[in-house]
Chains A and B, each alone.
Chain A
């Protein structure tokens, strides 16, 4: 079942999330944690690190 929750129309920058269905496995990646007060500061962080957990990923700008 498609589970996209957008109460208002927001165009997606790319296609994946805009067309993703609930249950679809997301691509993995590794990015450095740039927050010096995070317990993972300096580490390469990956969605795979959070398997067996629920994780919330916010995509925003620091500017």
Chain B
């Protein structure tokens, strides 16, 4: 599986692909420890009370590809299609490429199609500068920072803190949600300032100190970034902010 993902050019995280397994032996957890040994993918135990097997109706060893709206993309059976054979890997690779293509921005407005569809009930006429729910956050700011664009009570909520370094120096931090994967075509810049007039920028990758995926269906990850330089000794003020830019801008 990893080979296939590598063949399409990147790591799963870049394309925002998650792998999961379901033990379809209903209410029979025997063997779960063995099959999950050495793997860190979620391995779910099906049950009569929930019965995913009955809900989706897979065949044994089916690999089901699910899109960003929880829609069915396709299925490949790993018994019928031996992944040791290149022709079968090509089939799965093409299916993955199809699934990745649905994570696009067909109307080119900077808002992901799946996000627009789920946020605005399929209405893609909203613009990044618009404000569907008439709160204080534009559609674009709600998109890039993972709040609800159709809910005035939901706003982007970056939080600022102070982290102490090994030598006692103090750094400003900022915690915010950013969209998962590279398909969003976004870059996040963390900027810091001593006087709120002159801002210095540094890429997120250089200063990201923590990243937590809340798996809440928002397509975002909660990251904490640290300003690259400490607060000057004796300074009375400092500031840190995050800016999101479209790569195409």
Chain B residues in 8 Å Cβ range of A35:
32, 36, 39-43
A28 to B208, CA, bound (A): 34
- CB neighbours of A8 from chain B (8 A): 77, 80-81
Known: A51-B219, A56-B17. A31 touches B66 (CB 8 A): no
Per-position contact with B for A1-30: 1 when CB-CB < 8 Å, else 0?
Answer: 001111111111111111011111111111
Contacts A26-B66, A31-B50; is A58 near B60 (CB within 8 Å)?
Answer: no
B62 & A34 in contact (Cβ 8 Å cutoff): no
Per-position 1/0 for B199-218, Cβ under 8 A of A: 00000000000000101111
Residues on A with C-beta less than 8 A from B30 are 62-63
Among A15, A43, A55, point to the contact of B18 (Cβ < 8 A): A55
Which of these, B15, B40, B71, B95, contacts A38 with CB under 8 Å? B40
Chain-A contact segment, one of B112-120, B133-141, B231-239, B241-249: B112-120
Q: State A17–B40 Cα separation when bound (angstroms).
A: 27
Decide if A58 touches B80 in the complex (CB within 8 Å).
no
A53 touches B80 (CB 8 A): no
Contacts of B100 in A (CB 8 A): 54
A56, B32: Cα distance in complex, Å: 19
Shortest Cβ distance from A49 into B: residue: B215
Interface residues on B, range: 35 or more
Residues of A within 8 A of B158 (CB): none
**CA of A7 to CA of B62 in the docked complex: distance in angstroms?**
12
Q: Which residues of A contact B115 (CB under 8 A)?
A: 52
Cα of A21 to Cα of B71 in the assembled complex, Å: 9
Residues of B within 8 A of A (CB): 1, 15-25, 28-47, 50-81, 87-88, 91, 95-96, 98-100, 102-103, 112, 114-115, 118, 179-181, 213, 215-220
28 residue pairs bridging A and B, Cβ less than 8 Å apart = A10-B62, A12-B58, A14-B58, A20-B72, A23-B67, A32-B44, A35-B36, A36-B33, A38-B41, A43-B215, A52-B118, A53-B219, A54-B65, A54-B66, A54-B73, A55-B66, A56-B66, A57-B58, A58-B20, A58-B62, A59-B21, A59-B24, A59-B58, A59-B64, A60-B22, A61-B60, A62-B31, A63-B30
Which are the 10 A-B pairs with shortest beta-carbon distances?
A: A52-B219, A14-B57, A62-B31, A16-B57, A35-B36, A8-B80, A31-B44, A35-B43, A51-B217, A59-B58
